[in-house]
Structure 1
């Protein structure tokens, strides 16, 4: 295991067992005596971990009564995935409460996340300045709606919605049972059982014009049923109960250098072709979002086999070309 993993394990052993002998630590970590000595020295001197040697119990422990002994060790050695997760959570929470409605609820969580990012407040602020997450095309959600829907989700209550449907510019009134909140491409969605249409639906929170909590208990839907219905196909339009189809996309050799490292769908299939092109197959039910992602690659990708999808992409390209003729 690498040093980061050893640091985590040392912390876990000391927290779970209280006092651990040098030999037990060495055996659990499977390292040499010299390596373990360097790790302990680094934790104490460089990261200010309150680790002390207890002569009476002949082992190492966190210093009793130290405020730091009740905290997580500093986040300076977090992995790429962990840093991304922590900063994403921090930015989502920081950007959610535009009018202060949620401050009283979110501040303890914000303090906890900031504490995990560094040994002290100044170090945490510095880390957040040095690691930047760039979000584009974000659609803001009114805090009052997020708070109401989040509370209804936790309390298993139904909600009355006035909802604006962008595709046909219509407004509808619905009674729904919230099942799950989803953040996708910087936009929040609510997965809910719609009692008007008697099925699962996904609602963009920024399109909610009005929301009211109801006393009626929400209908419960199992998570596996949510995933099967709404997550099987491509993107945010992944389900809707339609039969899944597979799109085959062939990327030119230059675009392949990037696309081959991307995950378009958890169940995707991919292979390199003999001529250097890259073939990607993804499942979809609604082509809306898939078509947008195909179009952004322009002449670097070709759709093969799916006549309906090919025709749709071709027509959109022709319309786009006419704008610049």
Structure 2
């Protein structure tokens, strides 16, 4: 554990030095490390040893004495470790990716995106940027929700550290329509789905293995504290595979196969904008199509089917069909 903590600390040190234009003293670096990593205490000698270890590893960390004391900063060799050529096409792709990640505004992830973007703008020739700017105006990115996670930055730092160190986290969680509850979770990773961040974590009190891993929406976190309690990760949990099993963010050991009858127009729309990589579409003799798609929960299918109106009908399983029928009946009663 000590070795892992040292690596995390030294990586954060490099980030702090990279973001500092005029350098930082050891005291300032120590205070920033304590704040960003959620530490209770950290001695200046430890910070000095970390700086020396990074210098020994080849990082160009220079020092100079100013009125406020001895400051450390990255030298020129680290301002551009890798010199790269970038074309207008690559700039367009980079800027589009940046705009798609606006929901991360205010988090440590966004700072990394923004500092890299600024570095690129500083080094590219004027002619290349003018060429890029002219073509960039032909494509616009919009439709992302107007939300950021700036207020959750502290919790994200806590959760990141807990994921790396396998620490149990105590959270205050406000499910929709329910009072705030205090829970303990074992975080495995973070996932971004439709501009929202989710914490993929197990609930220790749940004993059924297939139900333990859940996705907790960060918007509903009111507080998060990494405890001095560690958990042993389950080696059988593969997040990339698990998160891709259904058409939404709900989790489960195995997805349910849902069959949906689509009219001609609905089938064309779903073909243009697929719900899942493994979906299948079979054309029927009457001109309709049967869509077969995996889903973990009826609530994943419900909004998609309702958006297609009378052009879509859930055939099976019964649980999914009943969920849509109940929603339609409720809407009919109101309208």
TM-score by length of 2: 0.62
Q: Tell me the residue number matched to 1:211.
A: 224
Q: Tell me the residue number matched to 1:232.
A: 245
Distance 1:106 1:303, change over 3 A: closer
Q: Tell me the residue number matched to 1:22.
A: none
Where structure 1 has 5 or more consecutive residues not aligned to the other structure, the ranges are: 1-66
Distance 1:183 1:220, change over 3 A: same
Q: CA RMSD in A?
A: 3.4
Q: Indicate which of 135, 140, 150 corresponds to 1:132.
A: 140
TM-score by length of 1: 0.64
2:203/2:214 contact within 8 Å kept: yes
Distance 1:205 1:68, change over 3 A: closer
Matches within 5 A, 1:114-193: 119=124, 123=130, 131-137=139-145, 139-141=147-149, 142-166=152-176, 168-193=177-202
Distance 1:128 1:204, change over 3 A: farther
Q: Tell me the residue number matched to 1:314.
A: 325
Could you report, residue by residue, the CA deviation over 1:103-128 in whole angstroms, capped at 9, with x for unpaired residues? xx754542324556893585577776
2:260/2:316 contact within 8 Å kept: no
Distance 1:320 1:93, change over 3 A: closer
Could you report, residue by residue, the CA deviation over 1:174-193 in whole angstroms, capped at 9, with x for unpaired residues? 22221111000111100012
Separation in structure 1 between the aligned mates of residue 80 and residue 110 of structure 2, nearest angstrom? 23
2:103/2:195 contact within 8 Å kept: no
Q: Indicate which of 295, 301, 308 corresponds to 2:312.
A: 301
Please say if 1:73 is aligned against 2:81.
Answer: no
Where structure 2 has 5 or more consecutive residues not aligned to the other structure, the ranges are: 1-78
Separation in structure 1 between the aligned mates of residue 204 and residue 136 of structure 2, nearest angstrom? 43
Bigger drift between 203-212 and 299-308 goes to 299-308
2:263/2:287 contact within 8 Å kept: yes
Secondary structure, counterpart of 2:249 in structure 1? helix
Separation in structure 2 between the aligned mates of residue 218 and residue 129 of structure 1, nearest angstrom? 50
Q: How many residues align?
A: 248
Separation in structure 2 between the aligned mates of residue 283 and residue 108 of structure 1, nearest angstrom? 35
1:158/1:217 contact within 8 Å kept: yes
Q: Tell me the residue number matched to 1:35.
A: none
Please say if 1:248 is aligned against 2:259.
Answer: yes
Q: Tell me the residue number matched to 1:34.
A: none
Separation in structure 2 between the aligned mates of residue 248 and residue 282 of structure 1, nearest angstrom? 7
Separation in structure 2 between the aligned mates of residue 88 and residue 158 of structure 1, nearest angstrom? 36
Distance 1:319 1:280, change over 3 A: same
Could you report, residue by residue, the CA deviation over 1:218-271 in whole angstroms, capped at 9, with x for unpaired residues? 43234754356554233111x334x53221112211222221122212322222
Separation in structure 1 between the aligned mates of residue 125 and residue 228 of structure 2, nearest angstrom? 44
Separation in structure 2 between the aligned mates of residue 300 and residue 116 of structure 1, nearest angstrom? 48
Separation in structure 1 between the aligned mates of residue 235 and residue 101 of structure 2, nearest angstrom? 27
Q: Tell me the residue number matched to 2:292.
A: 281
Secondary structure, counterpart of 2:180 in structure 1? strand
Could you report, residue by residue, the CA deviation over 1:74-107 in whole angstroms, capped at 9, with x for unpaired residues? 242349xx92xx4465236654344xx74xx754
